[in-house]
Amino acid sequence: MKSFKAFWVFSYIVHHAFFVKVDGAKSLVPALYVFGDSSVDARNNNNLHTHAKANVPPYGIDFNNNATRRFTNGKTFADLIAIKLGLPLQPPYLGISDSKRYQVITGINYASGACGILNDTRDGECLSLDKQIEYFTSTVANDLSKHKHFKSKDELKHHLSNSIYLISIGANDYFLNYLKPQIRTYKNMSPEEFVDYLLEQLSSKIKTIYNLGARKFVVGMLEFLTIYGSQI
């Protein structure tokens, strides 16, 4: 458990270290890759068969007064981090055609609303965290490796190791799984045991991203467990 606590402390420090002003056109890092749930989803769910979509008002009323398919009235904190880093907003993976995906080298958003750390956490169709990582694996192997910007494997390795990997996920593992009366998969676990289990699962998935070349992680703090409108 100590290693997990150290990991979260490190993530907290890294998160705040990036909130600095960017002067000039040059970005602070090569790219930002985003994984998670509705807290950072940037339109991926709009391409899925699910009612968990943000394509109607008042979503987006403070972002060009248009429903941007983000689950917020304005920008997500992933968008704000991208801006602070001097990067363009990350396009949703499912919103980029296969023929153009290899052209994107400043980061991609894989996040999907109504998903969680666990594969069986979902509300309708969504991109599980494992699926998001699978798509990132494809990005590295099939898209970035083809880009003319990277003239060698070492240059691609440098890109991956210096990019930022933002992960914001976990609340739905409570809302749509552990706390749901009709789902009894994890009811034999105490709250403390469930937390440890989630951390173990998340750590394992982060290691998969790490093994692909990632080194700089920002892990968002779990949002407060309040009531969603759909639960009333």
Whether the pLDDT of residue 2 is over 60: the answer is no
* Nearest-angstrom CA–CA distance, 7 and 26: 29
Spans of all domains in the chain:
2-44+76-223
Q: How confident is the model at residue 220 (pLDDT cuts 50, 70, 90)?
A: confident
Q: Please determine, for residue 61, whether its predicted confidence score (pLDDT) is greater than 80.
A: no
pLDDT digits (tens, 9 = 90+) for 130-185: 999 999 999 999 999 989 999 999 999 999 999 999 999 999 999 899 999 888 89
pLDDT of residue 3: 46
Alpha-carbon span 21 to 9, nearest angstrom:
23
Task: Give the pLDDT of residue 21.
Answer: 46
Instruction: Please write the tens of the pLDDT for every residue from 77-117.
Output: 899 999 999 999 999 999 999 989 999 999 999 999 999 99
Q: What φ, ψ does residue 147 adopt, rounded to 5°?
A: -75, 135
Amino acid, single-letter form, for residue 46: N
Secondary structure (3-state) at 78 = helix
Run of H or E including 33: strand 32-36
Residue with tokens 């090569």: 30
State yes or no: pLDDT of 229 exceeds 50: no
pTM of the entire structure?
A: 0.84
CA distances from 230 to 48, 125, 227 (A): 19, 17, 8
CA distance linking residue 78 with residue 110, whole number of Å: 12
CA dihedral 8, 9, 12, 16 (to 10 degrees): -160
Cα separation, 33 vs 9, whole angstroms: 21
